[in-house]
Chain A
Amino acid sequence: MKEQNYIKLEFPSKSSNEFFARSAAAAFAAQLDPTLEELGDVKTAVSEAVTNAIVHAYPEEIGRIVMRLRILGGNTLEIMIKDFGKGIENVEEARKPLFTTGGSERSGMGFTIMESFMDKLRVRSAPGKGTTIVMQRAIRLRVGKR
């Protein structure tokens, strides 16, 4: 699908950037005229993906996180969150509901929420090299708008 617009942001894996990342994603997505529910879904999925990178990719250090958002044809928003950290040993296991290595402040529901709030979710990871998550969500065109 043809790219119509994009942003690319890089920030350190500090938890205070979770708020920034989802707010920036929502501000970019606003040009697709999403409903409040669609905007909430985008914010939630970004928050989960960025939190995963902060908690799991860089457990002992602060590292780089890159977020790229693209608007593709068909009013589709694509979200890529990339880190250069620890990587995931077993992606299939990590995607299972309630699976977590994150302790009592995590619920193990991050991937379940990303999968259910987005239309597509792809995870690429290699131990020691980092993880890239790419998600897509079509924003419905509403009658009476544009």
Chain B
Amino acid sequence: MKYAASFASGRLTVYLSGELDHHEAGGVIRTIGELIDDNMPRECAIDLSGLRFMDSSGIAVIISAGRKMRTLGGRVYVENPQEQARKVLETSGIERLIAVATHS
């Protein structure tokens, strides 16, 4: 599991790559929480383009980031999931709560 982050114009983008499962989820939740605390963004995008695999632990990560952003009056977006992650997102129904977008 690897991370990268960028911050510009009030928008924090967190790039996740590798495989996100329960073993990794706690660390990812803490890291995203710290990035939000440090940057105080209006929007937080979680970019999944480098994520080869995620299970329902990824849903917990996104929900946790969403909860944190709501306390700041901001929002979370999910961007560029690969096919496997997209299917998990769809099955979970999280798209009713959090926007999932693909940018070409």
Q: When each residue 45-61 of chain B gets 1 if its CB lies under 8 Å from chain A and 0 otherwise, what string results?
A: 00000000101110110
**A37: nearest chain-B partner, CB-CB:** B83
Q: When each residue 87-109 of chain A gets 1 if its CB lies under 8 Å from chain B and 0 otherwise, what string results?
A: 00000000001000000111111
Q: A112 with B23: in contact, given A107-B57, A107-B59 (CB under 8 Å)?
A: no
A19 to B21, CA, bound (A): 8
Q: Select which of A40, A48, A109 is within 8 A of B87 by beta carbon.
A: A40
A-B contact count (CB 8 A): 78
Least distance between A51 CB and chain B CB atoms (Å)? 4
How many chain B residues touch A (Cβ–Cβ < 8 Å)?
22
Residue B91 at the chain A interface, CB threshold 8 Å: yes
Chain A residues, Cβ within 8 Å of B63: 107
Q: A16 with B22: in contact, given A104-B29, A107-B92, A109-B56 (CB under 8 Å)?
A: no
- Asked if B91 contacts A105 (CB within 8 A), the reply is no
B residues at A contact (CB < 8 Å): 19, 21-23, 25-26, 29, 53, 55-57, 59-60, 63-64, 83-84, 87-88, 91-93
Residue A85 at the chain B interface, CB threshold 8 Å: no
Residue A15 at the chain B interface, CB threshold 8 Å: yes
Residue A58 at the chain B interface, CB threshold 8 Å: no
- Asked if A107 contacts B21 (CB within 8 A), the reply is no
Q: A44 with B92: in contact, given A54-B22, A107-B59 (CB under 8 Å)?
A: no
- Asked if A106 contacts B55 (CB within 8 A), the reply is no
Chain A residues, Cβ within 8 Å of B25: 105
- Asked if A116 contacts B23 (CB within 8 A), the reply is no
- Asked if A104 contacts B55 (CB within 8 A), the reply is no
